[in-house]
Amino acid sequence: MDSVLITGASGFIGINLVKKFSSKNKVICLSRGNDFKKKSLIYNHKNILWETYNPFDSKDISRILNKHKPKEIIHTAGLINGSKKELEIANELSTSYLIEAINDSNVSPILIFISSVSSILKTNYGKSKLNSENEIIKYKKNKLLILRLSMVYGKGSKSNLYLFEKLLKKYPIVPVPYSKTILLQPLFVDDISQIISSFIEGNGKDRKIYTVSGPDRLNLIDIVRILKLKSGNKAYIIPIPLFLIKRIINLLALIPWIKKYLPLQQLETIDSQPKYNYEETELDFNLKMTSFCKGVMLY
pLDDT (0 to 100) of residue 271: 87
Q: Are residues 7 and 120 located together in one domain of the fold? A: yes
Q: Are residues 162 and 142 located together in one domain of the fold? A: no
Residue 170 lies in a domain: yes
Q: Are residues 10 and 124 located together in one domain of the fold? A: yes
Q: Are residues 140 and 21 located together in one domain of the fold? A: yes
Residue 204 lies in a domain: no
Q: Are residues 236 and 95 located together in one domain of the fold? A: no
pLDDT (0 to 100) of residue 252: 85
Q: Are residues 61 and 123 located together in one domain of the fold? A: yes
- The partner residues of 6 in beta bridges, in order of sequence, read 29, 74
CA distance 8 to 31: 5
The boundaries of the domain holding residue 90 are: 3-149
Q: Are residues 220 and 255 located together in one domain of the fold? A: yes
Residue 166 lies in a domain: yes
Q: Are residues 86 and 64 located together in one domain of the fold? A: yes
Residue 197 lies in a domain: no
For the chain (length 299 residues), average pLDDT per consecutive 10? 91 93 93 60 75 93 97 95 91 97 97 96 92 96 97 88 91 94 97 98 97 98 96 92 90 83 77 93 98 95
Q: Are residues 167 and 218 located together in one domain of the fold? A: yes
Do residues 81 and 263 lie in contact, with contact meaning Cβ atoms separated by under 8 Å?
yes
How many domains does the chain contain in total? 2
Q: Are residues 120 and 35 located together in one domain of the fold? A: yes
Q: For the whole model, what pTM was predicted?
A: 0.92
Q: Are residues 298 and 157 located together in one domain of the fold? A: yes
